[in-house]
């Protein structure tokens, strides 16, 4: 069985944890988790994009986020923006 990564890379940690779930959960639960997890991540990135003035990512990091989660550009925050 895979074990979670101990490094500080959140993507690698998330991927390793998802791998454990893939190996453990029934296939229908994994599909549901994939769909819902992607939606949650897209919303989280969308909220992050609404707060760029706070987070101030580099242009390269911002480009990576948008390429990974293009639907986040359509995210509406709690103020309807």
pLDDT tens, position by position, 10-37: 666 777 887 888 888 888 887 877 778 8
Tell me the average pLDDT across 35-42: 84
pTM, full prediction? 0.64
Listed as own residue / partner, the contacts of 34-43 with beta carbons closer than 8 Å and 24 or more positions apart are 41/69, 42/69, 42/71, 42/72, 42/75, 43/72, 43/75
Listing DSSP states for 36-78 in one string gives HHHHHHHHHHHHHHHTHHHH---HHHHHHHHHH-GGGGG---T
Please, what is the average pLDDT of the chain? Answer: 80
11 and 2 Cβ atoms separated by less than 8 Å: no
């Amino acid at each position: 069985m895979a074990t979670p990564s101990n490094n500080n890379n959140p993507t690698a940690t998330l991927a390793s944890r998802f791998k454990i779930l893939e190996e453990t959960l029934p296939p229908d639960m994994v599909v549901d988790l994939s769909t819902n997890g992607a939606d949650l991540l897209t919303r989280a990135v969308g909220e992050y994009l609404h707060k760029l003035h706070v987070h101030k990512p580099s242009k390269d990091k911002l480009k990576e986020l948008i390429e990974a989660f293009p639907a986040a550009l359509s995210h509406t925050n709690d103020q309807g923006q």
